[in-house]
A and B are shown apart, each in its own frame.
Chain A
Amino acid sequence: MAQCGIREYAAKKLLSKYINEYSSGKFQYKDEVALVTPENSIETIAEKSNWIKEKRLVVKPDQLFGKRGKHNLILLNTTYDEAKQWINENMGKVVEIGKTKGPLTRFLVEPFVPHSKEYYIAIKTEQCGDKIFFSETGGVEIEENWEKVKEYFVPILESIDIVNFSTVDETIREFIKALYKLFVELDFTYLEINPFTIINNEVIPLDLVARLDDTALFWNKDKWGDIEFPTPFGRTFTKEEQFIRDMDEKTGASLKLTLLNPKGRIWQMVAGGGASVVYADTVVDLGYDKELANYGEYSGNPSEEETYLYAKNILDLMTREKNPKGKILIIGGGIANFTDVAKTFKGIIRAIREYKDKIKENNVKIYVRRGGPNYKQGLALMKNLGEEIGIPIEVYGPELHMTRIIDIALKGERDETAI
């Protein structure tokens, strides 16, 4: 996966745990931050963490989306009781952020710290090095004040000590260096603290966004602890998507399913990660994006049973609601390296045979294209299946390029629309 967003809570935990070490003891950040979830109420947390009841608090959702102030989702300078009530009112509430909707389920609680100075810092990665953005006037208006943001570059093979921070106040300079070391050592790929302030060498990050490189888990197991990589906000899974996700987790093969429009008439079951994207692209590029029902991929040599269950899942979804114009199933793929095409088709064939009546009722046309070891045998199996159970199945091999079956399938569409 690589770059994965983490919760503000998790990032602040890492900061409190390591900033002292990476600043050689100069800075600290008190471990006063809590995450309220449906399973871990603010009352439970208060039993162990006295500060929650003693201090004025800040409360906000912590679900990988920003602009919480603009959505009126921050409670500032509040008491424990008010915070408790506010969380209770908002827990589970569905909100709309940008294009996505989802329920609120995670709230960050931390002490409210009155402060005068607000700094901005962001560190991001590029191919040749890391970029540090710093401003003495941080806060919500950072974009309006972007001309005040200074940019520094640390080449990937160099240390931060070569960077000239002469215009930056010494304490802040040392903090930037420490934060950068933490960024590097803990394999962050993005870190933005806006704003933060420093009072008596106590770091106070007021708002923070972070991503980690999850491929570095092997090296960071101990440092990261039990870190969570949450799914993006608003991403919930249907029963069928979850079924495929569960199957995907259990096998060495790769099985993916995203439902785009369950009422769509074009369904896809494509072998290979790269190829599956190209098939979906082509449907969209040919102007049929509204009809594209799903994005689906199977690869990495799934077993016959796995392809059977995968195909069954898709056939079930696509035959639930009839459409007078009928439907299209694309069983596509590029030219396999070493996967036995005939073998992977056997599971799909079993599923089609099982669903033959529903396929007929829904007037589904099937288009197959695949190459690679044993593809001729695989295509012959599909062709014979079509003849045997009386379902239109067109098969193509490498003599036709990969996406052309979409054009062929849609050509029928276009002609029919013309009539």
Chain B
Amino acid sequence: MKQPFSKETQSIIYGKQLKAVQRMLDFDYISQRKIPSIACIIDSNGRGIETAFFGSEEIIIPVYNTLIDAAKYHPNATVMVNFASYRSAFETTVQALDISTIELIAVIAEGIPERKERIMGALAKEKGKIIIGPATVGGIAAGKFRIGNTGGSVENLIASKLYRNGSVGLVTKSGGMLNEMFNIIARAADGINEGIAIGGDRYPCSSLIDHLLRHEENEEIKFHVVLGEVGGKEEYKIVEALKDGKIKKPLIAWVTGTCAKIFPTEVQFGHAGARAGEEQETADAKNIALKEVGAIVPDSFDGLFEKIKEVYNNLKSQGITSKIKEFTPPDIPIDYKKAIKEGIVRHHKEFITTISDDRGEEVKYAGIPLSQIIEEGKSIGDIIGLLWLKKKLPEYATKFIELVIEIVADHGPCVSGAHNAIVAARAGKDLVSSLASGMLTIGPRFGGAIDGAGHYFKWAKDNELAPKKFVDEMKKKSTPIPGIGHRVKSIRNPDKRVELLKNYAKTYFPKTEYLDYALEVEKITTAKKENLILNVDGCTGVLLVDLLKSIGFTNEEIEKRINAGVLNAFFVLGRSIGIIGHVIDQKLLETKLYRTPYEDVLYTLPKEEEL
């Protein structure tokens, strides 16, 4: 019989079990395998690649969505570790049995119906293949191949010397007891050569005896340790094999579940198969039967350690133990994430944020949990306060912010922002592109006056320039004063929006020093020309400066915020509402591509001789 595991064995992992993948590769690394034990992964939800570490080197593991593909591209993979759920484990295992290159399948799922299990087992026997499981962690061939998560943490793999082969063949029913047995065998003898947990079901696809007979033929294995379990009659096959001389190597056995007899009613332990239906299936009966045919059976589990030690020492004195090349397994580099968690490493951050945090239970705005903000009935003005200004704003301020947004939300289809958005929407562009196309027109000439007005009026007022002087200075520079002047509105035909803003501020703001200053300037400019009024941009700009001042920002802090674009931001935010509206409107109207008519363009090209 060919042994299924060597240092070259490669496997297909069914199911995207990336932790198990990494654990197998860690085992490979400390065992000094030259090639990884994993050839590829099967994930029914998608294909592509995954990466994992082989020591400190990162390697690529291909992902396929069918077993057929995986086997086709990796004919050298002889093992499949099947992590499929109990619902699909049967189909995937039967499929794998049909693939000629796959010789051994480990089925991890628990809860596969017994009939399906028996069919899988029988099919495997018919095809001369091995199934380990179901309902097991799998097993390990020390220094050669680890099935999935068998053996636990890297520390335990090293402590139980699973990175190099010992002399002992171990077969258990329980996967949970494997680590303990590895530990016992490593301390009482020279460690395991191969340890398999066949799984706790009543009809595992391969039984204790199947693996024992395989171990009997494995020359590296010098003696057997078997841990059986109450329920079923599989242990009697070992009894028969011992009687028939099919097992000649020393065999130490113990069947667990001897306590079942003191339970008041029939007891079903955790494993599906762990229930004694009749006297023969009890742990006591099986222990006695094994002992009678020459198995070494201690008086209790506790005696296993001494029995193993005895047998090992005896064989050692006769020179019948594996020749083991001892070495110190290399350290597995610690995972960066784990190191961070444990505070072992530190590093510079690439980004800094001071306004929101999504790492905890819920997102926080400026340190306040979102649920609290909602519960307190806060408005969009409060949220702008938290995220833009990092302040809890008083109500007059949040209401004012909302007023500004409402006022600037839209100004018809003809302004450059809306126009551009409409043209883009009519060209068939999506909402985001059309919106962006409109928004990109916001700048010094469109919408930008809020920023400019805030900036200039603040500068003039802070430098105590008399309004007259300010107007003259601007004229000298031949710069129109931002926020002054309107196409149609004038001192006698005032802009309603400006009235709204002014009245609100006069009623609710503690102080309006910049507005007052701007109104002084307006007096001078309107004296020159009636339509040189403080327009909506100018009014918004100076009132936002008043607002920032009233909520406690210093002059310098306000300037920094103006330079960062905070004033303009109110216009950008507000107007995006209108532009989105225009885009949606055009989409619903299914308007056609816009082309500017020839008659709207003045064509005056240079004559050739002018060039």
Contacts and interface: CB of A to CB of B under 8 A. Distances in A.
Interface stretch (A106-114, A164-172, A213-221): A213-221
A372 B156 contact: yes
Interface in A204-244: 213, 215-216, 218-219, 232-235
B209 to A, nearest CB: 11
Interface stretch (A35-43, A343-351, A398-406): A398-406
A274 B174 contact: yes
A52 B145 CA distance: 66
Interface in A135-156: 155-156
A260 B265 contact: no
A232 B265 contact: yes
Given A283-B259, A289-B262, A337-B137, A277 B274 contact: yes
A121 to B, nearest CB: 19
A335 B115 contact: no
User: Residue among A1, A215, A235, A299 with the most chain B CB within 10 A?
Assistant: A215
B122 A218 contact: no
Interface string A274-303: 110110111111100100100101010000
Nearest to A261: B262
Interface residues of A, number: 62
A305 B460 CA distance: 66
Interface stretch (B57-65, B299-307, B474-482, B515-523): B299-307
B272 A215 contact: yes
B153 A373 contact: yes
Contact of A215 (B86, B180, B305): B86
A184 interface: yes
Given A2-B272, A100-B265, A273-B174, A292 B259 contact: yes
Interface string A68-102: 00000000000000000000000000000001100
B301 A285 contact: yes
B19 to A, nearest CB: 8
Contacts of A274: 174-177, 256, 270-271
B271 A372 contact: no
Contacts of B257: 277, 281
A128 interface: yes
A127 B118 contact: yes
B259 A407 contact: no
Interface in B555-577: none
Interface in A1-19: 1-3
B380 to A, nearest CB: 40
A219 B183 contact: no
A278 B298 CA distance: 13
A20 interface: no
Given A281-B258, A406-B302, A157 B177 contact: no
B411 interface: no
* Best-buried of B126, B184, B200, B207 by chain A (most CB within 10 Å): B184
Contacts of B118: 125, 127-129, 156
A277 B260 CA distance: 9
B183 A157 contact: no
Given A1-B272, A278-B177, A281-B257, A338 B126 contact: no
Most chain B CB within a 10 A radius of its CB, from A272, A274, A406:
A274
A278 B152 contact: no
Contacts of B264: 99-100, 234-235, 260
Nearest to B258: A281
A401 B305 contact: yes
Interface string B121-145: 1110010000000000100000000
A398 B159 contact: yes
A281 B256 contact: yes
A127 B111 contact: no
Contact of B202 (A2, A272, A297): A2
Contacts of B202: 2-3
B207 A2 contact: no
A125 B180 CA distance: 33
B35 interface: no
A284 B151 CA distance: 29
B466 interface: no
Contacts of A284: 258-259, 261-262
Interface secondary structure of A, over-half rule: mixed
Size class of B's contact patch? 35 or more
Contacts of A286: 300, 302
Nearest to A125: B114
A156 B272 contact: no
**Chain A CB within 10 Å, residue with most, of B118, B271, B274, B302:** B302
A49 interface: no
Given A273-B174, A273-B270, A337-B149, A281 B201 contact: no
Interface in A238-271: 254, 256, 258, 260
Contact of A403 (B121, B126, B274, B301): B301
A334 interface: yes
Given A3-B275, A371-B179, A285 B258 contact: yes
Given A216-B113, A281-B256, A258 B275 contact: no
A319 interface: no
Contacts of B274: 277
A215 B259 contact: no
A26 to B, nearest CB: 25
Interface string A175-207: 000000000100101000000000000000000
Nearest to B306: A401
Interface in A322-381: 334-338, 371-373
A127 B237 CA distance: 12
A155 B122 contact: yes
A295 B259 contact: yes
Interface string B270-286: 11111100000001000
Contacts of B175: 274
Interface string B165-199: 00000000011110110111001000000000000
B271 A273 contact: yes
B180 A275 contact: yes
A125 to B, nearest CB: 6
A187 B159 CA distance: 44
In the complex, which of the residues B177, B180, B200 has the most CB atoms of chain A within 10 Å of its own CB atom?
B180
A254 to B, nearest CB: 7
Nearest to B201: A2
A187 B115 contact: yes
Nearest to A284: B259
B94 to A, nearest CB: 11
Nearest to B120: A156
B87 A3 contact: no
B8 to A, nearest CB: 26
Contacts of A218: 86-87
Which 9 A-B residue pairs are closest in the complex by CB-CB distance? Answer: A273-B270, A285-B300, A2-B272, A274-B174, A335-B179, A334-B180, A280-B259, A274-B176, A216-B113
Interface of A: 1-3, 99-100, 125, 127-129, 155-157, 184, 187, 189, 213, 215-216, 218-219, 232-235, 254, 256, 258, 260, 272-275, 277-278, 280-286, 289, 292, 295, 297, 299, 334-338, 371-373, 398-399, 401-404, 406-407
Given A278-B301, A335-B183, A402-B301, 6 more contacts: A100-B264, A218-B86, A285-B302, A334-B177, A335-B156, A398-B159
Interface of B: 86-87, 111-115, 118-119, 121-123, 126, 137, 149, 151-153, 155-156, 159, 174-177, 179-180, 182-184, 187, 200-203, 207, 229-230, 234, 256-259, 261-275, 283, 299-302, 304-305
12 contacts: A127-B121, A155-B122, A156-B118, A157-B119, A215-B86, A232-B266, A256-B270, A278-B177, A335-B179, A337-B137, A371-B156, A407-B302
